[in-house]
Amino acid sequence: METVTLGPTGTYSHRAASAVTDDGISFVESVRAIADAVANGDADRGVVPIENSIEGSVTETLDALAEVDLAVVREVVTPIRHALIAQSENFDTVASHSQALAQCRTYLDENYPDVDREPVASTARSVEIAREDPTVAGIAHPDNADGDLQLVASDIQDKSSNSTRFFVVAPPSERSEAGGKSSFVVYPNANYPGLLLELLEPFADRDINLSRVESRPSGERLGDYLFHIDVDAGLYEERTQAALEEIEALAENGWVRRLGSYDVEHVV
C-alpha cells in the first residue's frame, strides 16, 4: 500500500506517515499534490498536516479537502521535537525552516548568539545541508542524526507542549462510519447573521462536542464561506446522522461533504 506525504525524507509528515504504514512512502511538495495523488489512484493513502506551522498550512489542507473528494480515515498527533544536528560542534551557521528557527529562538539566543541563522525550504533540507557542509548545523527531529551527523542538543524548541496533527486521507470509497471523531465540510451557499450558529445548533442539541470549527472563503464571492467542522462523535451514531440531516436542510442551496469517521493515534 503506497502512502504519499510531504518530503523530503525526515520531515515531520514523513514521521507521521511512518507511524501508520510499514509499506512504501513517496514524497511530493504540496498538500494539494497529495490530495490529487490519492484521488487519482496514484497512492492508496495520503498524510496531510492539519495543525502544523512547518510543513503546509491549515489553509492549504482545508482548501484541498474542500476541493478534492477524499475520505479522512485517521488522525495522527505527534509532538514537535527539534534537535540541533551537525557533523561537530564547530559550526558557524544554523539552517532550518524559518518556523523551526523561530520555535528554537530562546535556545539559540542563549547558546549560540553569534551564529548565523539561515532559512531554508524545510527541516529535512537543513539536515541534507549539514551532511554536506561541516560549518552548518540543521534543526530537525532528532532521528535525523545518523551517519556522519551527531546530535548536538535535543528538545531545543521553546514550548515543549507543542504538537502537530495530521489527517490520513484515502479514496472516497474507503470512507468509514466507525471511529470516535468525524469531519465534515459544509458549504451553505448563503450568508446571514446567525448562519454559523444555525449550522452548529444541531450538534449542541444532541450533546455532540465540536472539536474544531474553521471557516474559509469559498472563492465564489467575497463574504461567502465554507465551514470545516470536526465533532467528537461517529457517523455510525444515530444522533450524528440526525444532526447532519438538519444541516443538509440548512445548506439546501449548497452542499455537505462527510469526510468520514476515524480514531486518533498519538505517536511519540
If one asks whether residue 237 binds a copy of itself (CB under 8 A), the answer comes out as: no
Spatial separation of the C-alpha atoms in residues 83 and 15, rounded to whole Å? 15
Spatial separation of the C-alpha atoms in residues 123 and 100, rounded to whole Å? 7
Q: E-strand spans in 105-149? A: 116-119, 136-140
If one asks whether residue 247 binds a copy of itself (CB under 8 A), the answer comes out as: no
If one asks whether residue 192 binds a copy of itself (CB under 8 A), the answer comes out as: yes
Interface residue with a copy of itself, options 42, 133, 174, 214 (CB under 8 A): 214
Grid coordinates representing 86 are 551537525
Map the footprint of a copy of itself across residues 113-152, applying CB under 8 A: 117, 119-122, 125
Using DSSP's 3-state secondary structure scheme, residue 238 falls into: helix
| The one segment of 58-66, 107-115, 168-176, 243-251 that binds a copy of itself by CB under 8 A | 58-66
Applying CB under 8 A, the site for a copy of itself has a residue count of: 54
84 DSSP 8-state letter: E
Instruction: Please give the full DSSP string across 182-234, using - where no structure is assigned.
Output: EEEEEE-S---TTHHHHHHHHHHTTTPPEEEEEEEE-SSSTT-EEEEEEESS-
| The one segment of 40-48, 78-86, 154-162, 254-262 that binds a copy of itself by CB under 8 A | 154-162
User: Nearer to a copy of itself by C-beta: 175 or 187?
Assistant: 187
If one asks whether residue 155 binds a copy of itself (CB under 8 A), the answer comes out as: no
If one asks whether residue 52 binds a copy of itself (CB under 8 A), the answer comes out as: yes
Contact 39, 174 (CB under 8 A): no
| The one segment of 91-99, 127-135, 171-179, 255-263 that binds a copy of itself by CB under 8 A | 91-99
Contact 5, 47 (CB under 8 A): yes
Residues near a copy of itself, by CB under 8 A: 29-33, 51-53, 56-60, 97-99, 101-102, 105, 117, 119-122, 125, 159, 161-163, 191-197, 200-201, 203-204, 207-217, 219, 223, 225
